[in-house]
Structure 1
Amino acid sequence: MASSAAPLFDAGTIADRWIADYCASAPRDDVLCARGAAGDAWSAVFEELAGLAGDNLETARERAHRHAEDIGTGFRIAGEGEERPWPLSPIPLLIPQAEWDGIATGIAQRAEVMEQVLADLYGPGRLVADGHVPAALVTGSPFFLRPLANSVPPGGYHLQALAIDLCRGPNGEWRVLADHLRAPAGAGYALENRLAMAQTLDGLQTRLNIARHAPFFAAFREGLAARCRRAEPRIALLTPGRLNPSYAEQAHLARYLGWLLVEGADLAVLDDKLYVRTIAGLKRVDALWRRLDPRLLDPLALDSHSTIGVPGLVDAMVAGNVVIANAPGAGLLEAPAFAAFLPRLAELLTGEGLKLPNIATWWCGQDDARAHVEAELDRLLVKSAFGVPPLGLPGAKAVLGSAIQGEARAALLADMARRPQDYVGQEVVHLSTMPVVAEDRLAARPFTLRVFAARGPDGAWTVLPGGFARIGEHADARAAVMGEGMWSADVCVHGPDPVEPVSLLPSGDSTQLRRNPGTLPSQVADNMFWLGRYLERGEAQLGVIRVLLGNSISADTGAALAADTVRKLTDILVSSNAAPAPAGLKRSDLTHLARAALEDGEGWYSVASINAQARLIGQVSRDRLAADMVRLLDAPFPTRGTLLEKAGSLQRRYSALAGLAAEHMGRTDAWCFHDMGRRVERAMATLGFLRAFGRPDATSDDLGTLLDLADSQISYRQRYLTGIARVPVLDLVTLDPGNPRGIAYQVAAISGHLNKLPVLSDDGLAEPQQEQARELAAILVTAHATRMDDALLSVLEQRLANLSDAIARRYFLQGSEPLRAAGLVLA
């Protein structure tokens, strides 16, 4: 009996049933149902899924999502503040190697044609002069950058990397939907998809001989380095910042490629050379992979309103001192209007047609093309010619002609007559479908494929084997209806031959050992410092709230604190703008105060607000922090339980973050700044507690509260068995160098960090921030608890604030910092 039932749970049996049920209702041109010779590969995919999740497809989908989340994959919709998880389908798109070879050849040919066109349009201009390209298509495009005319990019190439969107038609043919040349995004998502799928379906790689991604990224990295003048160039990825929709992808790529992740504020141009501002001074940058809109790159040469660019960057590029990938202005060919001319240009420049054809496109700037679009409007897609919505398509870049009726149609035709150059018409493309998991079953959805190409060190193009697929939310297979897609999928190129296990990591025997973690940009140091400060600030405020609510270690204090002590606690919260002043000291008043100071993010500097500041820094520091630390920073604020339970949950989170920083962050300069931020903030908070609860007239409730807030209650009890007294408490909390929560310990740690950080001169003399730390330490060493008063506490507070300012002036190099400041290192 058992043997006859076993096949029901066999992975192969389940896979065959899934495929048969799916193909019974899916379109005949679906990639799975029309798989032909690739049938065994698709069967292998579903057998792996069945082996993973049994007969439950939803389990496989959840596991793929979990692996993507563990990697840190995310994206942001324009206008939204929060990142969304990357929607990864557990079912990859399979493409046989023989079919992929044709795609890769077509991509490389297209990239080379566009390189030649760009070289002419920004150079001699023969294509325009000879009538092959209308002048209005160039000079009327917002993507044409006049300041770059008649200039040759360093290294000789306009294009170093590009992305191209492909679609698969009902008959299996591949065609180009769009080109992405300005700031091609998505290669990092393709990499992250592959990493997540390798963990989800770990047996598929060797079973199907899936082509690896590493050779592509290695070629890109080496190709960009080969364009630089210096033998060992420094390369950076220029990001618009954390609010960019693909910031998470950019951070992942920078980490994977070993490049600096920088923003415009990190960079400066001096004598036509580009530098990154670091804690060791200015360091030369030889190449940028920009993910910034080219018009925003340089406010001096391009858009003067840009606040995220680098003044003088275009001059540095024209002088040949920095390679920019892709060269500004390359987006000229990204305009949909150019798709109408590229097939003819390919034949003119290479003597052969495009191996991967465009979808049919008509630019309305030509009379015949405009007449065709107007006559066939109901069967075409109407789009902006240059990506900017024209007056006839308000709020939209593309609309199905059949969907435009009545007054909207009249307005479109009228504007098309006034400004025909603003419009293109394109054929309505019908897409092939592929399977996705929807409600624990397989469903057919249309897809497009984004493919990536990069120029290698020899100048030849390397195409990433696979890219990633975008999958539509609905069954409608028209590309215009699908939009940006609902899911993504890994794309696996498989073949009969084993794949060499290539990695970007060099072999152990050939690796040059190093213990220097590399250049630390000043802005990263600034972020690490303030991340430490915010975390300590939140923890200190949380400590006040917990004591106020009665969560004291001592059974003699807490819930029964004297009114004067309670008033001091409320004064601390009110003076820090954490909450409004309470009406009185009744339990209900204190509860309302505590709730506002804990979780009111509207107008008050609550713990929730402080956590939000730390979270923002975590989002821009993905390449510097452990994944677990980022997850804790991103964790939602507690909403369940009593105030004390919420506070306890947050306290455990703070403890976990402190533990991760202490035990998992390498002892690099970045960690030094993070720890210094913690030490500065902890010392500042403790000084505030001393001023409130350590006065000469302090009561036992005051002193017990001080020990609670300084987290030194246990240390005091172990040392003093005769009860609580002011002088021993002050000595422990302020002057004892062995108390890790005391002020003396914090100052000693700050001084130690400053002694290890880079200096700007070799004269052996202390820099200002080092001098101030030593002076502050000397005051604490020579002080005595019996002589501690408000005057001494004020001196300590002022000197600590001055020290924090000195650290900022020296290391964080704000935009107003003179570039030729004494001692700045140029390397």
Structure 2
Amino acid sequence: MASRAETGLFDAATIADRWIAEYRAHAPSGDILAVGGQAEQAAWRAMFEELATHSGDALDHAAERAQRQADDIGTGFRIPGESEERPWPLSPIPLMLDEAGWHGIAEGIVQRAELMETVLSDLYGPARLVEQGYLPAALVTGSPYFLRPMVHIDPPGGYQVQFFAADLCRGPDGEWRVLADHMRAPVGAGYALENRIAVARALGGLQTRLNIERHAPFFAALRDGMAAVCRRADPRIALLTAGRYNPSYAEQAHLARYLGLLLVEGADLAVLDDHVYVRTIAGMKRIDALWRRLDPRLLDPLAFDSTSAIGVPGLADAMAAGNVVVSNAPGAGAIESNAFAAFLPKLALRLTGEELKLPNIATWWCGQPAECAYVRDNLDRLVIAPAFGASPLGLPGGAAMLGAALDTAQRAALLADMERRPEDYVGQEIVRLSTTPVVSGGALVPRPFMLRVFAARGADGEWVVLPGGFARISDHPDPRAAVMGEGSWSADVCIYGASAVEPVTLLPAPDDVRLRRNPGTLPSRVADNLFWLGRYLERGEALLSVIRVLLGNSIGADTGAALAAATVRRLIGLILSSGAATAPDTTRRTDLLAFARTALESETTNSVRHINAQARKIGDISRERLAADMVRLLEAPFPTKGGILDRAGTLQRRYAALAGLAGEHMARTDAWRFHDLGRRIERGMAVVQVARAFLDPQATTDDLSTLLDLADSQISYRQRYLTGMARVAVADLVVFDPGNPRSLAFQVEAIAAHLHALPVLSDDGLDEPQQAIAAELSALLKTARAVDLDLDRLNALDRHLAALSDAIAHRYFLQGAEPLRADGFTLA
């Protein structure tokens, strides 16, 4: 395989010409690469030259390179019903569109977005379109996304729609048409951004070589547009997500990080006096705008769906009072249905005086007798789809189906249900899609594609269209849109032109930067997650240490037990108290191995595997706060190779790497403090637990040596004491020595320092409860002597640590409907 250094421009050009020639030889009529003028062909050739320059003659290598870049960014998605994310499938070959052709698409998108705004303003206002017969009432009220509580509410800022998306298809004749509109919660702008970042890394020279339009101006306009309609000059804007199980959560986290928005869930928010606040570690902070990525029906259980557990009670009242901007306004999805598309062409003429610049695919709504008869008579020539998104009885699963593909039973069921509820169905023309090249089996093959395009309002209220969007490409050669489904690949969409593109970035100009060392608002939920991430990582490491000591010191390869039986029983007791395994039948080697294996890798609660899974879940929902390397380590699969000690060693090194990343790569912000607080409290509890197990007055040398192993303090002890094991000396080092980073005293001092650095709610100068408990615990350790350490004192220390953990949770974390007017809670 030729490397980039070995492949000069001439060789890359030769490879590109061969790829294109071989592809054109079998590309179907209307393929986007096979048609076009000289300028279009030159752009495709330049792109393939860049691909060959970076990947040589191996298309598979190009595909792997692009996918690796997407994986490094952390791009992922989740199929509904699945708990694990899948990698975002990225094609190494972007879709190339010239700026002249794109200009027409952008104009059509702007026209369409304005039309949607006009229609929605009427439907939730005077409703003249229904009154005058331009829209059937059933078309509006039949949509599950028409929200009656929003009628006659003027959305803050004056816009129903601030963010719009449309799915386009290109026919073999080159005409672009609209397959679907998206206003309810448009998905994909973050994927378009991530595709561009990944492709820019994989094809480094393409951006400047072809003057490709940049994405940053669009996202800057989107952010500025939301800020412009807020009442405060310096608004606080958040992206409202349904949480980690939302299929596009990874995209949402990436967008929030890129745009500098808070990523919040419904439980983070509260409404007080018709204003929306986010619960933070510093009290309640005002939210001025929400970019909503939550089903609108679940937004407010008081106004919409009363069963919603993820909404914000009172949010609709805050909107009605004009105190929070929600983009898009709840109810905007009422006109994105398949049925509504049948009326858009006439509405465009009625409301704008001109035809749609991007026509719809032909659609017949069966809620009208003549149209329903046409659909029944032409079933084999149409696609049959749900009218309003829900799954009617005649289309189980809710997917559109080719009428000609229905078997006898399916056809009978469909026609019967169309007779009962015709308004639930539409018929649509069968659309044939143009194709574009993708890499499959080491070769270029043509596959059908669709294009999702995005538009957002800028600060002046005018629409700005994202230059490109992203393409979805089918893995099936059948060019009919109904067969394509959601697609198997995604691709960047590059808009190229003759003029140089200004290198716009969302980063401000150096002279305009307002210096700050405060990283911003930390929501209580995020602090809670980071705290428990620290606790889980320490808990897993502590349990793993016990398992490793049990395996490494109590089971010799040939000689049997290396520790006294009483010490082995103490180690077993520590594992039993963790709940990771049930007691072994005996202390023979085979039973101990099975016991350790269960504690390490069983699927039961409290095993190391289970603890790792809990940490991974927190990593999934905290990715906007964690380094990419840390997220990768959390997501790494549980080791399966080698013996049990080898697997335990792999996990130990992983824990060490995670601790190193947290210690050396996390900025010393409040977010880091909560992560470290979790670690310190959990480590302190572990120290007390092992001290109770091994520091009784009858402790043997084996007991004391094992305690030093578990406290990772063997080297410190041997450097300090030359005379062998002494109970009081071990107790002082492990429990009371503030200079030992593994001791209880060290953990308590670190905890106290964190708590005094975190925000307080009042200015009276008095300690808050969590600070007072930490001070009391510190005093207990400073005034106690190792010689007096007994079980009662260890139990007292343990109770203080538990009380401290509870006080931290009560003060900083979400406590359901904790009093929003609690003394000192700042409303800002």
Cα distance per residue 1:113-143 (max 9 Å; x no partner): 0000000000000000000000110112211
Q: Aligned to 1:275, which of 270, 277, 289?
A: 277
Counterpart Cα distance in 2 of 1:376 and 1:430: 18
| SS of structure 1 residue aligned to 2:451 | strand
Counterpart Cα distance in 1 of 2:511 and 2:555: 55
Counterpart Cα distance in 1 of 2:409 and 2:809: 60
| SS of structure 1 residue aligned to 2:552 | coil
Cα distance per residue 1:172-206 (max 9 Å; x no partner): 11000001111100000000000000100000000
Q: Which amino acid aligns with 1:275?
A: Y
Q: Which amino acid aligns with 1:84?
A: R
Q: Which amino acid aligns with 1:364?
A: C
Q: Equivalences for 1:136-215 in 2 at 5 Å?
A: 136-215=138-217
- The residue number in structure 2 matching 1:643 is 644
Question: Contact conserved, 2:50 with 2:203, CA < 8 A, in 1?
Answer: yes
Counterpart Cα distance in 1 of 2:21 and 2:321: 63
Counterpart Cα distance in 2 of 1:784 and 1:204: 70
Cα distance per residue 1:444-480 (max 9 Å; x no partner): 1000000000011111100000000000011111111
- The residue number in structure 2 matching 1:454 is 456
Cα distance per residue 1:271-322 (max 9 Å; x no partner): 0000000000000000000100000000000000000000000000111000
Q: Which amino acid aligns with 2:166?
A: I
Structure 1 residue ranges without an equivalent (≥5): none
User: Is residue 567 from structure 1 mapped to residue 569 from structure 2 by the alignment?
Assistant: yes
Count, aligned residues? 821
Q: Equivalences for 1:577-656 in 2 at 5 Å?
A: 577-601=579-603, 603-656=604-657
TM-score, normalised with respect to structure 1: 0.98
- The residue number in structure 1 matching 2:552 is 550
Counterpart Cα distance in 2 of 1:135 and 1:419: 16
Counterpart Cα distance in 1 of 2:54 and 2:396: 48
Question: Contact conserved, 2:8 with 2:53, CA < 8 A, in 1?
Answer: no
Q: Equivalences for 1:358-507 in 2 at 5 Å?
A: 358-507=360-509
Question: Contact conserved, 2:91 with 2:489, CA < 8 A, in 1?
Answer: yes
- The residue number in structure 1 matching 2:339 is 337
Counterpart Cα distance in 1 of 2:599 and 2:10: 56
How far residue 153 of structure 1 moved from its aligned partner, in angstroms, is 0.3
Cα distance per residue 1:471-498 (max 9 Å; x no partner): 0011111111010000000000000000
- The share of aligned pairs that are identical, in percent, is 70
How far residue 558 of structure 1 moved from its aligned partner, in angstroms, is 10
Alignment RMSD: 1.5
Question: Contact conserved, 2:553 with 2:562, CA < 8 A, in 1?
Answer: no
Q: Equivalences for 1:272-311 in 2 at 5 Å?
A: 272-311=274-313
How far residue 162 of structure 1 moved from its aligned partner, in angstroms, is 1.4
How far residue 813 of structure 1 moved from its aligned partner, in angstroms, is 2.9
Question: Contact conserved, 1:115 with 1:158, CA < 8 A, in 2?
Answer: yes
| SS of structure 2 residue aligned to 1:175 | strand
Q: Aligned to 1:253, which of 227, 252, 255?
A: 255
TM-score, normalised with respect to structure 2: 0.98
Counterpart Cα distance in 2 of 1:768 and 1:161: 46
Counterpart Cα distance in 1 of 2:694 and 2:246: 46
Q: Which amino acid aligns with 1:67?
A: Q
Question: Contact conserved, 2:222 with 2:457, CA < 8 A, in 1?
Answer: yes
How far residue 392 of structure 1 moved from its aligned partner, in angstroms, is 1.2
| SS of structure 1 residue aligned to 2:511 | coil
- The residue number in structure 2 matching 1:22 is 23
How far residue 269 of structure 1 moved from its aligned partner, in angstroms, is 0.3
Q: Equivalences for 1:218-257 in 2 at 5 Å?
A: 218-257=220-259
User: Is residue 11 from structure 1 mapped to residue 19 from structure 2 by the alignment?
Assistant: no
Counterpart Cα distance in 1 of 2:524 and 2:514: 27
| SS of structure 2 residue aligned to 1:24 | helix
Counterpart Cα distance in 1 of 2:581 and 2:33: 60
Taking a change above 3 Å as real, the CA distance of residues 106 and 795 of structure 1, as seen in their structure-2 partners, is: same
| SS of structure 2 residue aligned to 1:632 | helix
- The residue number in structure 2 matching 1:708 is 709
Counterpart Cα distance in 2 of 1:683 and 1:762: 30
Q: Which amino acid aligns with 2:715?
A: I
How far residue 111 of structure 1 moved from its aligned partner, in angstroms, is 0.1
Structure 1 residue ranges (4+ consecutive) displaced by more than 3 angstroms after TM superposition: 5-9, 551-555
- The residue number in structure 1 matching 2:328 is 326
Q: Aligned to 1:216, which of 215, 218, 234?
A: 218
Counterpart Cα distance in 1 of 2:129 and 2:541: 65
- The residue number in structure 1 matching 2:802 is 801
How far residue 816 of structure 1 moved from its aligned partner, in angstroms, is 2.8
Counterpart Cα distance in 2 of 1:275 and 1:221: 20
Deviates more, 1:33-42 or 1:235-244: 33-42
| SS of structure 2 residue aligned to 1:425 | strand
Cα distance per residue 1:535-569 (max 9 Å; x no partner): 000000000000000159999x9950000100111
Cα distance per residue 1:507-555 (max 9 Å; x no partner): 1111111111000000000000000000000000000000000159999
Cα distance per residue 1:151-170 (max 9 Å; x no partner): 11000000010111000001
Counterpart Cα distance in 1 of 2:540 and 2:692: 19
Q: Aligned to 1:525, which of 524, 527, 531?
A: 527
How far residue 28 of structure 1 moved from its aligned partner, in angstroms, is 2.3
How far residue 397 of structure 1 moved from its aligned partner, in angstroms, is 2.7
Question: Contact conserved, 1:388 with 1:397, CA < 8 A, in 2?
Answer: no
Q: Aligned to 1:513, which of 488, 492, 515?
A: 515
Q: Equivalences for 1:86-165 in 2 at 5 Å?
A: 86-165=88-167
- The residue number in structure 2 matching 1:814 is 815
Cα distance per residue 1:28-73 (max 9 Å; x no partner): 2111111323001000111111111111000010010000010000
- The residue number in structure 2 matching 1:346 is 348
Q: Which amino acid aligns with 2:808?
A: I
